Amino acid sequence: MSTPETSGRIVPVNDLPERRAVSVDLTTPTSVLAIGAHPDDIEFGCGGTLAKWAASGAALHHLVITDGAKGTWDPHRDVVALVAQRQQEQRRAAALLGGGDVVFLERTDGELRNGVAERWDVSRWIRRIRPDVVLGHDPWRRYRLHPDHRHAGFIVTDAIVAARDPHYFADQGLAPHRPSALLLWEADEPNHVEDVSGHTETKIAALLAHESQFESTMGIEEGTSAGVDEFARRVHSQLAEHGAVAGIAQGESFHLVTDM
Q: Over the stretch 219-229, which tens digit does the pLDDT of each residue have? A: 998 767 789 99
In a domain, 51, yes or no: yes
d(CA 231, CA 109): 25
In a domain, 14, yes or no: no
For residue 182, what is the domain's CATH number? 3.40.50.10320
In a domain, 4, yes or no: no
In a domain, 13, yes or no: no
Between 144 and 258, where is the model more confident?
258
| Tens of pLDDT, residues 76-115 | 999 999 999 999 999 999 999 999 999 999 999 999 999 9
Long-range contacts of 213-220, Cβ-Cβ distance < 8 Å, separation of 24 or more: 213/40, 213/71, 213/89, 215/73, 216/71, 216/72, 216/73, 217/40, 217/71
The domain of 182 spans 28-253
In a domain, 17, yes or no: no
Closest alpha carbon to 92 in 206, 204, 222 = 206
Q: What is the pLDDT of residue 52?
A: 98
Q: Considering the chain, what percentage of its residues have pLDDT values greater than 70?
A: 92
In a domain, 155, yes or no: yes
Q: What is the pLDDT of residue 1?
A: 41
Report whether pLDDT(121) > 70: yes
Contacts of 181 (CB under 8 A, 6+ apart): 26, 29, 132, 133, 134, 256, 257, 258, 260
Tell me the pLDDT of the chain averaged across its residues.
93
pTM of the model: 0.91
In a domain, 16, yes or no: no
What are the b/e assignments for 85-118, b being 16+ CB within 10 Å?
A: bbbebbbbbbebbbebebbbbebebbebebeeeb
Q: How many domains does the chain have?
A: 1
In a domain, 189, yes or no: yes
